[in-house]
Structure 1
Amino acid sequence: MEIPAVSPLGVKDISQPQQWEKNSQENLDSTTHYRQQPGDPPTETLEQGVSPEPANRSLKNLHETENLVDGLEGDADKSHESICEMPGSLQASDLWYCPDGSFVKKIIIRGHGLDKPKLGSRCRVLAFGFPFGSELREGWTELTVGVGPWRDETWGELIEKCLESMCQGEEAELQLPGHSGPPVRLTLDSFTQGRDSWELETSEKEALAREERARGTELFRAGNPEGAARCYGRALRLLLTLPPPGPPERIDLHANLAACQLLLGQPQLAAQNCDRVLEREPGHLKALYRRGVAQAALGNLEKATADLKRVLAVDPKNRAAQEELGKVVIEGKKQDAGLAQGLRKMFD
């Protein structure tokens, strides 16, 4: 089931995520506008479709990454490879840098063996120091990689990445950008064997993708577009490993992800996902509408007008498209008036 079109109304600054009302169904059916002033830079994200919180924002360069580990003992210029693959005794300066820059791991106690948790691995974990609201119970807990609602929040995503880098018995501290509290500490006591995604059968990947999609729609309706975007992104990554053209569910996943990205203030990414939908289904009305909204937010008024008119040509009573097109026309007239005034001043 595809989530309903998100209809805009009124002008709001989309540099911050939209505030949700308590009644989630009203938000799905209501009209909320995502306009971004022309010239404003588009929002970038780490993971496809996700606007990063400070805890998982990609670091701009190595210098910024090294600032995260100020106060740690030892030299931060050591190898960035996993300590599980490094010979010799453990040093206080042994660090592992998450490839996407979302955190730096300091290994306190070396694990043993070379195996690490994979998809489906049940991990017995000791966790301390996670901030209030992370929904992770401190102390001993059991987490399954790739399964469960614990992965929906930002902290769950970080924990999963960390677990996939750990060996059995390893204890580590996580340093995160924007986290000023005490270091987060994880111990991986044990785990069961899992599988890499390439080991899964096509039917298994499709089943997992359906579960992620259903969870994403549930989160969207509950007022959590960020968590929904993570689920849709994970579902797409599973399906993208299948031979082209892939299952038809990919179309709806891209369209749903675009709806989340509009709410998260990411019009450029939303437009890109709509492009992927329209490449395979040129008449997809929700993708046309959402791309029109995204183009308007980016200041591309001609492109926005073209998409919205295509929607109205098929569905003349589409109120959301009518309202958005009216706002685009008004904005275009304002720009024309400003340009005319500027030209007159040049010749006065």
Structure 2
Amino acid sequence: METPPVSPMGEKDTSQPQQWEKKPWENLDSTTQIRQQLQDPPSETLHLGVSPDPVTQILENTQGTEKLVSELEGDSDKSHGSTSKVTEGLQASDLWYCPDGSFVKKIIIRGHGLDKPKLGSRCRVLAFGFPFGSGPPEGWTELTVGQGAWREETWGEIVEKCLESMCQGEEAELQLPGHSGPPVRLTLASFTQGRDSWELETSEKEALAREERARGTELFRAGNPEGAARCYGRALRLLLTLPPPGPPERTVLHANLAACQLLLGQPQLAAQSCDRVLEREPDHLKALYRRGVAQAALGNLEKAAADLKKVLAIDPQNRAAQEELRKVVIQGKKQDAGLAQGLRKMFG
């Protein structure tokens, strides 16, 4: 009788392996190939990027984890197709929820040891199943946590967060938002020692934050607010670990992040970023203007008008504020007219 596979920690893996689509010329399924390659990885690796970046970002993901968990546990009514049989009856310890809700990780093979990749760790990674064109190259590659242009890709943020939660030798499935195909597979074969952010000197943190800010501005000007927001967010995470009041760059980063969030359709987050700026600089024109725009998008017309009027009190010739205030006034009149019409119908 065939016995279940045994993990590196000596624990039996009771989960059923993911079934992957076979190609006519292949004699082994993808899961078998993954584990064989893990035992004997090729010597060639892909080195991506060299510019140092901080570890994390703070953009909020609107996708919750409940749907992702239900899909992993097989509770979703939507089928993933004949090649995706999801294991039922998962143990709580087999699942890891990304704090921002961007994905759920299911551990297939447990790693060993307690150490996990940190800033500067070079990770030997095996990836399979990412949607075409949206993930790392399939097969073995080498990624450095906190460094490299790969982190600016859409998949880079998720992969980096996952790697920081893995132990050496761990193999996991990731359920990604909006991905209806088979779960993504990620294996961490090995990694070098890195450093936590608290281990960095103040000068190192500030230098990394400046590089992130410069890269974020470059991406913003190139029409990539999403990538810019990730850079600004990572810079802020580093500077927030410094003793208060912190460097003045934090104000600029929050203001820049607000601009990105407005373009990304996140007015609530943009207003919060502006609040951080105005706590330190109450007359910061860009923060006042951007918060006014955000409040208008949220339907808080009185708050929007107050911010925009304050901008014009400081800079009467500010055309952007003049135009935005005009829109807010028109929107307010329409709102009042609609309310009056509703009252007439109610009491007329």
SS at match of 2:172: strand
SS at match of 2:92: coil
Deviation at 1:290, TM superposition (A): 0.4
Inter-CA distance 194–332: structure 2 relative to 1 (3 Å threshold): same
Deviation at 1:135, TM superposition (A): 5.0
Inter-CA distance 318–79: structure 2 relative to 1 (3 Å threshold): same
The residue number in structure 2 matching 1:58 is 64
Q: Whole-Å Cα distance in 2 between the matches of residues 74 and 51 of structure 1?
A: 27
The residue number in structure 2 matching 1:89 is none
Q: Is the 8 A contact 1:68 1:176 kept in 2?
A: no
Q: Is the 8 A contact 1:68 1:177 kept in 2?
A: no
- Matched AA of 2:170: E
- Computing the radius of gyration from Cα coordinates, the structure with the larger value is 2
Structure 2, unmatched stretches of 5+, are: 1-56, 75-84
Q: Is the 8 A contact 1:118 1:194 kept in 2?
A: yes
1:121-270 matches, cutoff 5 A: 121-270=121-270
Deviation at 1:177, TM superposition (A): 3.6
SS at match of 1:141: strand
Deviation at 1:69, TM superposition (A): 3.2
Q: Does 1:75 align with 2:89?
A: yes
The residue number in structure 2 matching 1:119 is 119
Inter-CA distance 251–105: structure 2 relative to 1 (3 Å threshold): same
CA deviations on 1:13-64 (whole Å, 9 max, x unpaired) are: xxxxxxxxxxxxxxxxxxxxxxxxxxxxxxxxxx743455xxxx232x4x76
CA deviations on 1:95-125 (whole Å, 9 max, x unpaired) are: 4443444333333333332221111101111
Deviation at 1:347, TM superposition (A): 4.1
The residue number in structure 1 matching 2:308 is 308
The residue number in structure 1 matching 2:50 is none
CA deviations on 1:185-226 (whole Å, 9 max, x unpaired) are: 222222110011111111111111112211211221222212
SS at match of 1:173: strand
Q: Whole-Å Cα distance in 2 between the matches of residues 314 and 95 of structure 1?
A: 53
- Matched AA of 1:79: A
Q: Is the 8 A contact 2:73 2:88 kept in 1?
A: no
Q: Is the 8 A contact 1:308 1:321 kept in 2?
A: yes
Q: Is the 8 A contact 1:261 1:269 kept in 2?
A: yes
Structure 1, unmatched stretches of 5+, are: 1-46, 81-93
- Matched AA of 1:236: L
Q: Is the 8 A contact 2:64 2:102 kept in 1?
A: yes
Q: Does 1:318 align with 2:318?
A: yes
Q: TM-score, normalised by structure 2?
A: 0.75
Q: TM-score, normalised by structure 1?
A: 0.75
Deviation at 1:145, TM superposition (A): 0.5
| RMSD over equivalenced CA pairs, Å | 2.0
Deviates more, 1:273-282 or 1:100-109: 100-109
Inter-CA distance 135–176: structure 2 relative to 1 (3 Å threshold): closer
- Matched AA of 1:67: E
Q: Relative contact order: is structure 1 or structure 2 higher (C-alpha 8 Å, sep ≥ 6)?
A: 1
Which of residues 35, 50, 59 in structure 2 aligns to 1:49? 59
Q: Whole-Å Cα distance in 1 between the matches of residues 106 and 296 of structure 2?
A: 45
- Residue correspondences, number: 282
CA deviations on 1:211-266 (whole Å, 9 max, x unpaired) are: 22112112212222122112111111111111111000000111011111111111
Q: Is the 8 A contact 1:119 1:195 kept in 2?
A: yes
- Matched AA of 2:287: A
Identity of aligned residues (%): 84
- Matched AA of 2:207: A
Q: Is the 8 A contact 1:50 1:229 kept in 2?
A: no
SS at match of 2:212: helix
Q: Is the 8 A contact 2:68 2:176 kept in 1?
A: no
- Matched AA of 2:108: I
- Matched AA of 2:133: G
Q: Whole-Å Cα distance in 1 between the matches of residues 346 and 187 of structure 2?
A: 69
Deviates more, 1:100-109 or 1:287-296: 100-109
